A and B are shown apart, each in its own frame.
Chain A
Amino acid sequence: MNFAVLQFPGSNCDQDCVHVLRNVFGHSARAVWHKDASLGEADAVLIPGGFSYGDYLRTGAIARFSPVMQAVQQFAENGGLVLGVCNGFQILCEAGLLPGALIRNRSLQFRCEHVFLKTVTTDSPFTNRIPQDKLLCVPIAHGEGCYFADEATLAKLKANNQILWRYVNAQGEPTESANPNGSLENIAGICNERRNVAGLMPHPERASEAILGCADGKLIFESLIHALQNKSAAKAA
Chain B
Amino acid sequence: MKAKIIVTPKKAVLDPQGKTVQTALEHMGYSGIGAVHVGKYMEIELTGTDKEAARKIIDEACHKLLSNPVIEDYRFEIE
Interface of A toward B, CB cutoff 8 Å: 57-58, 61-62, 65, 93-94, 100-101, 103-108, 146, 148-150, 182
Contacts and interface: CB of A to CB of B under 8 A. Distances in A.
27 contacts: A57-B65, A57-B66, A58-B68, A61-B68, A62-B65, A65-B65, A93-B70, A94-B68, A100-B70, A101-B68, A101-B70, A101-B71, A103-B13, A103-B14, A103-B71, A106-B14, A106-B16, A107-B16, A108-B20, A148-B13, A148-B14, A148-B70, A148-B71, A150-B12, A150-B70, A182-B14, A182-B16
Interface size class of B (residues with CB under 8 A): 10 to 19
A39 B15 CA distance: 37
B14 A149 contact: no
Interface of B: 9, 12-14, 16-17, 20, 65-66, 68, 70-71
Nearest to A184: B14
A108 B65 CA distance: 24
Contact of A104 (B17, B66, B68): B17
A149 B9 CA distance: 13
A73 to B, nearest CB: 14
Most chain A beta-carbon neighbours within 10 Å: one of B13, B14, B66: B14
Contacts of B16: 104-108, 182
A107 B20 CA distance: 10
A106 B17 CA distance: 9
Main secondary structure of the interface of A (DSSP, over half): loop
Contact of B70 (A62, A105, A149, A182): A149
B19 to A, nearest CB: 9
A150 B73 CA distance: 14
A200 B13 CA distance: 20
Contacts of B70: 93, 100-101, 148-150
A212 to B, nearest CB: 31
Contacts of B17: 104, 108
Most chain B beta-carbon neighbours within 10 Å: one of A58, A93, A146: A58
A92 B71 CA distance: 15
A223 B12 CA distance: 35
Contacts of B20: 108
A149 B14 CA distance: 11
Contacts of A101: 68, 70-71
Contacts of A104: 16-17
Contacts of B65: 57, 61-62, 65
Contacts of B12: 150
Give the 8 A-B residue pairs with the shortest CB-CB distance, closest first: A101-B70, A101-B71, A108-B16, A106-B16, A101-B68, A148-B13, A58-B68, A103-B71
A93 B12 CA distance: 18
Nearest to B67: A58
A204 to B, nearest CB: 25
B22 to A, nearest CB: 13
